Structure 1
Amino acid sequence: MAPHRFRAAVFDMDGLLLDSERPIRDAWMRATREFGVALDAAAYLQVVGRNEADSRRMLQALLGATVGYDEVRARAAVLIAEAVGAGGYAVKAGVVALLQALHGRGVPCVVASSTNRAEVERRLAHAGLAGYFDAFSGGDEVRRGKPHPDLFLLAAQRAGQSPRDCLVFEDSEHGARGAIAAGMSVVIVPDLKTPSEEASSGCLAVLASLHEAHTHVPTWFS
Structure 2
Amino acid sequence: MTDTDPDNAERKMQFLFALRSKGVTDARVLTAMEKIDRAPFIRGYFNDRAYEDMPLPIACGQTISQPSVVGLMTQALKVSSRDKVLEVGTGSGYQAAILSQLARRVYTVDRHRRLVNEATEVFRKLDLTNITAIVGDGSFGLPDQAPFDKIILTAAAEDAPGPLLAQLKEGGIMVLPVGQSDAVQRLIRVTRNESGYEYDELLPVRFVPLVEGLGRDG
In the superposition, the TM-score normalised over structure 1's length comes to 0.35
- Asked which structure has the greater RCO (Cα within 8 Å, sep 6+), the reply is 1
Larger Rg computed on CA atoms: 1
Q: Which structure: greater strand fraction?
A: 2
